[in-house]
Amino acid sequence: MRHKWVAMLVTLGVTAACAAPLPQLASNAQSVQVASSRVKANTWTDEVMYFIVTDRFNNGDRSNDKDVEPNNEWGYHGGDIAGVIAKLDYLKAMGVTTVWLTPWIDNDDIPLNLSGGRKLWGFHGYWPKDNQAVDEHLGTMATARSFVQEAHKRGMKVMQDVVLNHTGYQHPWGKGHKDPQDPHYNWFNHMGDIKNWDDPFQSVHGDLAGLPDWNQDIPEVSNYLIDNANWWVKQTGVDGLRVDAIKHVDHAFWRKFTSGVKSQNPNLMLLGEVLHGDPNVVAGYMRDGFDSMFDFPLYYGITDVFARGQSARKLGSLLGQDGAYPDGSFLTPFIDNHDVPRFMSVAGNNGKERLKGALTLTLTVRGMPCIYYGTEAGLKGGGDPENRADMPWNNLDADLTAHIKRLTSLRKQFPALGNGKQLEMWQDDQVYAYSRQAASEEVFVVINTGDRPVTRKIQLRAESKLADGTRMTDQLGGQSIAVDGHSISVTLPARQQAILTVGTAARKR
């Protein structure tokens, strides 16, 4: 979660309203053990994840369309969980295997009122109001359960987005968080808004734009949050949790959280979000017990190289730091999401070709790729909320969709693309190449990120088992080449890529 509107909200002054108090969940301090070491439970690298801002995706139930204002970019637009269920077959046909939705937890019921009559709603889901309910705009607990069941029926997995740093403005416990007389006063931090984002103490203990900040330092709170996460998993049967804003909570809590959740749900996949470009910072949270982390460092590299035309060596430099992670093979690479401008709004000329290059990298590089809804439509959008526009169902892009399907299909046909070891083969300012090597399979990916055609003679890695004379076929462009002198010679037009597999035939599309 990113809060570019922090200063704006503070300046304008926001209003929040009251809600009825909630019963407190029983504390379960005994169930929680602090992790002594990181236990590796899940590898989802052969998954393809698709991320949906539920309110903006598909309106499957008109009966929950209260507060809908299609022309208010900060308001509800009517999308819901039923709408996602209706599109599961569409997603499956594109090769998606895992779906992550923005938080479906009940959010604030009254908007923030900004100057000029503008109203900000929690359509994004990151303003929790009732920790044990589904938001009425998105569905009910039964709809959430049904979504998970329908996904499972299709062999797909579901990630639930959870917010453990803060509550919404109207959460019954949080709304009194500045009042020492409030019974839950100690459950929240009282530093006021984060002002210096580089100050680690402020970043953890300060408020994000006035959102009441949980005080995870006290066991009542940390146990409650862990119990609540386990409660949700039990209620809905999700396969994993995407955990929001973890850099705003202390490492000690995350160690307790990952251990406490895994002790109840050993197979649950935990994916953390730290919006930071330094692999060492992101790796520090993976060490707290998260199975995977969003690959924000590589995101910046993908944007710089593919959208902005900077040196392809940046990709090599970033992937060369995988050793910083406890498990560098299980990051979650992505091109863009709801907290950053969409790729198509950053890329200049030939944006669609550049996006296809970025997709080729994202869907063949190590880790579990994540595709943001609307990528298959070439959807544009700058900062939040422009990057959360409605899914343009009547304006999908056949070419982009076909490229995604081609890549997901290749991942199925060549498991090394999901599970193989990532080995760099070549880097220069314009070309980046790597192999994905499994026990009995090698796939080479060669990417021309530049605007000129290239030919490169690329030496195979010492680890390669391919003998001279081995024929290879490019599954994207169709060219056929032979290994010669433990090398391959690859020619690529501007902004094109090759995915080379052993054999003379292009696999069935």
The least distance separating Ca ion from the CB of residue 24, rounded to whole angstroms, comes to 20
Among residues 135, 173, 220, the alpha carbon closest in space to that of 20 is found at 173
Q: How far apart are CA 127 and CA 105, in angstroms?
A: 9
Looking from the CA of 406 toward its CB, the CA atoms found within 13 Å total 21
Q: Which is nearer to Ca ion, 107 or 143 (CB)?
A: 107
The amino acid at residue 76 is Y
The stretch near Ca ion (CB under 5 A) out of 17-25, 163-171, 259-267, 407-415 is 163-171
* Given 55, 73, 135, 161, the residue binding Ca ion (CB under 5 A): 135
User: How many whole angstroms separate alpha carbon 409 and alpha carbon 417?
Assistant: 11
CB closer to Ca ion, 64 vs 448: 64
List helix spans (H) across 13-136.
Answer: 81-86, 88-93
Shortest Å, Cβ 299 to Ca ion: 23
390 binds Ca ion (CB under 5 A): no
Backbone angles phi, psi at 66, to 5 degrees: -70, 150
Within positions 214 to 273, which residues make up the interface with Ca ion, using CB under 5 A? 248
Residue found by looking up tokens 């895992």 in the block: 98
Q: What whole-number distance in Å separates Cα of residue 2 and Cα of residue 372?
A: 16
- C-beta of 63: minimal distance to Ca ion in Å? 7
The amino acid sitting at 191 is M
Residue 165 binds Ca ion (CB under 5 A):
yes
Contact region with Ca ion (CB under 5 A), list: 59-67, 179-187, 267-275, 501-509: 59-67
Q: To the nearest whole angstrom, how small is the minimum distance from the Cβ of residue 13 to Ca ion? A: 22
Nearer to Ca ion, 97 or 107 (CB): 107
Span from 135-143, 218-226, 358-366, 380-388 in contact with Ca ion (CB under 5 A): 135-143
Q: Out of 55, 213, 327, 390, which residue is the one contacting Ca ion (CB under 5 A)? A: 213
Considering only residues 324 through 353, tell me which ones interact with Ca ion, judged by CB under 5 A: none
Which of residues 59 and 167 has its CB atom nearest to Ca ion in the complex? 59
**Looking up tokens 């290239």, which residue turns up?**
454
Give yes or no for a contact between 294 and 334, defined as CB atoms under 8 angstroms apart: yes
Of 42, 54, 59, 464, which one interacts with Ca ion (CB under 5 A)?
Answer: 59
Within residues 104-123, the interface with Ca ion by CB under 5 A covers 106-107, 109
Token pair, residue 47, equals 């998954």
**Best CA proximity match to 279, nearest among 303, 301, 252:** 301
Is 58 one of the binding residues for Ca ion (CB under 5 A)? no
Least Å distance, CB 224 to Ca ion, is: 15
Task: Return the closest-CA partner of residue 434 out of 359, 356, 499.
Answer: 499
Structure token pair of residue 202: 């402020």
Shortest distance, position 221 Cβ to Ca ion, whole Å: 11
Torsional class of 431: left (φ above 0), alpha (ψ -120 to 50), beta (otherwise):
beta
Q: How far is the CB of 407 from Ca ion (least distance, A)?
A: 32
The answer to whether 56 contacts Ca ion (rule: CB under 5 A) is: no
Give the shortest CB-107-to-Ca ion separation in angstroms: 5
Among the listed residues 3, 47, 52, 61, the single contact to Ca ion using CB under 5 A: 61
Q: Report, in Å, the least distance between residue 183 CB and Ca ion.
A: 20
Q: From the CA atom positions of the chain, what is the Rg in Å?
A: 23
Q: Scanning the structure block, which residue is given the tokens 């002002």?
A: 195
CA distance 201 to 198: 9
Q: Is 64 in the site for Ca ion (CB under 5 A)?
A: yes
Q: For residue 394, how many other CB atoms are within 10 A of its CB?
A: 6
Residue among 16 and 431 whose Cβ is closer to Ca ion: 16
Residues that bind Ca ion (CB under 5 A): 59, 61, 64-65, 78, 80, 106-107, 109, 135, 165, 213, 248
